[in-house]
Amino acid sequence: QKKSSFLVKLSSLIEKHDEQHTQKVIHSIKVGIALVLVSLLYLLDPLFNQVGENAMWAIMTVVVVFEFYAGATLSKGLLRGVGTVLGGGLGCLAAIMADDLGKIGNAVVVGASVFIFGAVATYCRLIPSIKRRYDYGVMIFILTFNLVAVSGLRADKILELARERLSTIGMGFAVCIFISLLIFPMWASDELHRVASSNFDKLACCIEDCMKAYLGVVSEKESMPSINVSGCKSVLHSKSSEESLANFARWEPWHGKFGFYYPWEKYLQIGELIRELASIILSMKECLGSPLQPSTPLQHALKEPCKSVGLSLGLTMRELGESIRNMKRCQTKVLKLESIKLELNLLSTSHKLRGIANVESLAIANFLFLLMEIVDKIEH
């Protein structure tokens, strides 16, 4: 039975790996198609006659904006658009204002405005809240402002130039959006949803492994079992990737099972809680390695209840993950958790055991209870 569960794990791993690989290949092909489409602006004579050298901007837009997740592409494209328009507008204004002055006055005014806007916008990029969401837009703003302001000195038909560039950027963006959203779209929201539920499974594995290892110590005494905590650690370090996924997910339009104002914040809250749980499990592992172990009679008394508690905790975690996956509440589990807590309390008071694993799993049960409430809150 152990072997079969291992095989199941392995096959699911391969499947997951395969799936991610397929997604990457699909994304690469999509980028290739987008590049070819936008190159047609150069390759086809009638199109080239229309846009001319500005076709370059369409290619740049595609290369820079096309990201793995649809939400990321959308947000980058929109930021690029807004940044270009704002930067171009202000740049035009600066160039026109400087136009009346003489040759030298002109250069001074343009140089000063480049310095001031550049420095202020760069400072804005360093503010954490702006950096997290609008970094790319501000960068494009600086770039466009500079290009327009300084070339305003040279190009007389600056408005027309701006219009042409904007329209080619728009074409590039349209190609990106079309291919990213309509052909095998990769949604950041799906990924966030998957990560949130699979984190529960990972922790369930860790809890079960820990309990098994602890019981192993009890029976063999000598060999210190090494348990695999990589799952636990990956959960612990998931914060930044989860945040960026949630950030992209907010930009994504209605699709699949998610509505427009889907509560992405809740996922981050669940993530925070599950990371705290992961840290508790990690420190439980530390207890396993400690030289301070319960005495043998104590161990035998602990063995059975620990086993059952470990199993039901793991089961509960899996069910919670499942409930998130299917977007259903699981209210019956509250009762089960209550019974686990009761059992542990009984154990700790009646036998006067203050064993290590015991107290820890109580903390976990306690914690799962909290988690429970959050999950209930979401899946309404």
- Choice from 22, 28, 308, 331 touching a second copy (CB under 8 A): 28
User: Smallest gap, in angstroms, from Cβ of residue 360 to a second copy?
Assistant: 8
Piece in contact with a second copy (CB under 8 A), picked from 20-28, 89-97, 211-219, 256-264: 20-28
Instruction: Decide whether 52 or 253 has the Cβ nearer to a second copy.
Output: 52
Residue among 233, 234, 237, 260 at smallest CA distance from 249: 260
Interactions with a second copy, residue window 235-274 (CB under 8 A) = 236-237, 239-240
User: Smallest gap, in angstroms, from Cβ of residue 3 to a second copy?
Assistant: 31
CB contact set of 46 (below 8 Å; sequence gap of 6+): none
Interactions with a second copy, residue window 108-137 (CB under 8 A) = 110-111, 114-116, 118-120, 122-123, 126
Instruction: Decide whether 105 or 253 has the Cβ nearer to a second copy.
Output: 105
Which H or E element spans position 38? helix 2-43
| Radius of gyration in angstroms for the set of CA atoms belonging to the chain, rounded to a whole number | 29
Instruction: Decide whether 109 or 192 has the Cβ nearer to a second copy.
Output: 109
263: left (phi over 0), alpha (psi -120 to 50) or beta: beta
User: Smallest gap, in angstroms, from Cβ of residue 7 to a second copy?
Assistant: 27
Interactions with a second copy, residue window 312-341 (CB under 8 A) = none
Interactions with a second copy, residue window 134-163 (CB under 8 A) = 139, 142-143, 146-147, 150-151, 153-154
Count the residues in the chain. Answer: 380
Instruction: Decide whether 43 or 327 has the Cβ nearer to a second copy.
Output: 43
- Choice from 355, 371, 372, 375 touching a second copy (CB under 8 A): 355
Task: Give the SS3 label for residue 218.
Answer: helix
Piece in contact with a second copy (CB under 8 A), picked from 23-31, 191-199, 313-321, 332-340: 23-31
Structural tokens at position 117: 């806007």
Distance of CA 181 to the CA centre of its chain: 19
CB contact set of 206 (below 8 Å; sequence gap of 6+): 227, 228, 229, 231, 232, 278, 281
Residue among 217, 196, 341, 182 at smallest CA distance from 269: 196
